[in-house]
Amino acid sequence: MLSDTERKVLRILYNFSSVHHCMPDLSELETKSGSNQEKLKQALSTLREQGYIMGNKLSEVKIIEAWPREKKEEKKTYISPYLD
């Protein structure tokens, strides 16, 4: 599951690249996200590790999965104590 910063960065990368046909640089990403560069580098690293993006340089990033994955909910079975 992605943190708020990671989700925000993923959406910014997707939207920016759709409009401008390139990736934003780190300072532009910092402005659009409201996060500092250290947080952004960590978010990019996590997105890379989890398979949402690939590429080592921000200018070369390719988006593999543009939407955060849904967390699968475990189905809980309720057994009524009144049933025999």
- DSSP secondary structure letters along 34-63: ---HHHHHHHHHHHHHTTSEE-SSGGG-EE
Q: Residue 58: its pLDDT value, please?
A: 92
How do the pLDDT tens digits run along the chain, 84 residues long?
899 999 999 999 999 999 999 999 999 999 999 999 999 999 999 999 999 999 989 999 999 999 888 776 555 666 656 655
Reported as type and span, the H/E element at residue 77 is none
Domains and CATH numbers, the chain: 4-63 (1.10.10.10)
DSSP string, 29-40: HHHHH---HHHH
57: exposed, middle or buried (Cβ count in 10 Å: 0-12, 13-18, 19+)? exposed
Q: Residue 69: its pLDDT value, please?
A: 85
Q: Residue 70: its pLDDT value, please?
A: 79
Q: Residue 79: its pLDDT value, please?
A: 63
Cα→Cα distances 75→72, 78, Å = 9, 10
